Amino acid sequence: MKTIDDYNFDGKKALIRVDFNVPLDGDFNVTDTSRIEAAKPTILKVLEDGGSAILMSHLGRPKGKVNLDMSLSHICETVSEIIGVQVKFAGNCVGKVADDAVAELKSGEVLLLENLRFHAEEEAGDTSFAEALAKHGDIYINDAFGTAHRAHASTTIVAQFFPGNKCFGYLLAKEIKAIEKVMQTGEKPVTAILGGAKVSSKITIIENILDKVDNLIIGGGMTYTFVKAKGGSVGDSICEDDKMDLALDILKQAEAKGVKVHIPVDVLAADAFDNNANTQFVDVDKIPDGWQGLDAGPKTLENFKEVILNSKTILWNGPVGVFEMETFAEGTIAIGNFIDEATQKGAFSLVGGGDSVAAVKQFGFEDKVSYVSTGGGAMLESLEGRTLPGIAAILD
């Protein structure tokens, strides 16, 4: 696996695919800079070697049309502040405007190209568009894990124009190693904590990781499909009735492979999907009609704690309750605390996939786990066992 450390960028122009798809407020201020900060080490390595960096990214979903609300010019100043170098901006990513800006770029300078997705050819994976991008650089670096699962022009197709001169940036290399640690090289026991609402959205992940884990903790809304499938009463809890056979099949597969499945035994139930609803702790298989399970209960959390603290490798994907509401956030916070404790004892912990990352950030666990993945969809597809096109293009 070639990484940025295998190259010296002295006098070279590095074309870097970054993921600067960051949230902006109504005044176009960046409200979460973590993706820009994550790309900083790669950019600085190029500059410190004596090279120049040409950054390309998308922002939002302009659907192939110019939409100035999604212009990367809005983030240029923030990128400059974080990197510590005044970043230049080109009002297009291809054509004369971009070509001229690249030609004028000197060693030690950084150029940010305009939103790739202002061109429909980007998402279409158009070869001519990729070739036009490729002309900007001597070496191609992919450091955008968040888009590595897309076969777009800038993430995948462009790599073919850099035979022998393409590599992973620091961020993407770290992502690959973190997933490998969980899926292939992790010290046992390996525990996967899967939460979220639906079994159907996690089925391929579950089937792929059963050969790799020792413990599978099921939490969140998925719980009730498993409980009802086993004959329990789940009241008004979210439940995929058409996936109950699948849930039972997963339990059979796990048993055959020697994987221990841990399902909640009690839950915090509410009489409405509302932060101010009436609540009570009930056995997970005896939820009354008119009530729904919205968080893990105390006995469940004790069980989960024991499993997590005895693990050496931990994957956390999905919350165990409706953490967005304060009343139902305790379970998810507790899981974060258990993982923190296990990590301090030497376990490797990886958090990835939309809602669990949001929870980790909201409750201040970012620095208490080993690694927080920056790519939601890419992370999930990796866990499903798929080869991501953006990664394959560099390895090719």
**Binding site listing:** 19-21, 35, 58-61, 117, 150, 202, 293, 324, 353-356
3-state class of 301 per DSSP?
Answer: helix
Choosing from 35, 45, 228, 243, the catalytic residue is 35
Question: Could you tell me the two tokens for 98?
Answer: 């971009």
Task: List CB contacts of 242: < 8 A, sequence separation 6 or more.
Answer: none
Q: Is 377 annotated as catalytic? A: yes
Q: What angle do CA 62, 65, 67 make, to 5 degrees?
A: 60
Choosing from 2, 40, 198, 299, the catalytic residue is 198
Task: List CB contacts of 261: < 8 A, sequence separation 6 or more.
Answer: 215, 216, 218, 250, 251, 254
Q: How many Å separate Cα 45 from the centre of its chain?
A: 24
Choosing from 64, 91, 108, 354, the catalytic residue is 354
Q: Are the C-beta atoms of 235 and 293 separated by less than 8 Å? A: yes
Choosing from 64, 108, 377, 385, the catalytic residue is 377
- Known binding residues for (2R)-3-phosphoglycerate: 35, 117, 150
H/E element, 342: helix 330-344
**How many C-beta atoms surround the C-beta of residue 31 within 10 A?**
8
DSSP string, 219-257: -TTHHHHHHHHTT-EETT----GGGHHHHHHHHHHHHHT
- Known binding residues for substrate: 19-21, 35, 58-61, 117, 150
- Known binding residues for ATP: 202, 293, 324, 353-356
- Segments of the chain assigned E as strands: 13-17, 52-56, 88-90, 110-113, 139-142, 166-168, 190-194, 215-218, 233-234, 260-262, 266-270, 279-283, 286-287, 292-296, 313-317, 348-351, 371-372
Question: Could you tell me the two tokens for 167?
Answer: 């590599």
Pairing of strands 52-56, 139-142: unpaired
Q: Is 385 annotated as catalytic? A: no
H/E element, 121: helix 120-124
**Distance from the first to the final alpha carbon of the chain:** 10
Active-site annotation, residues:
35, 198, 354, 377
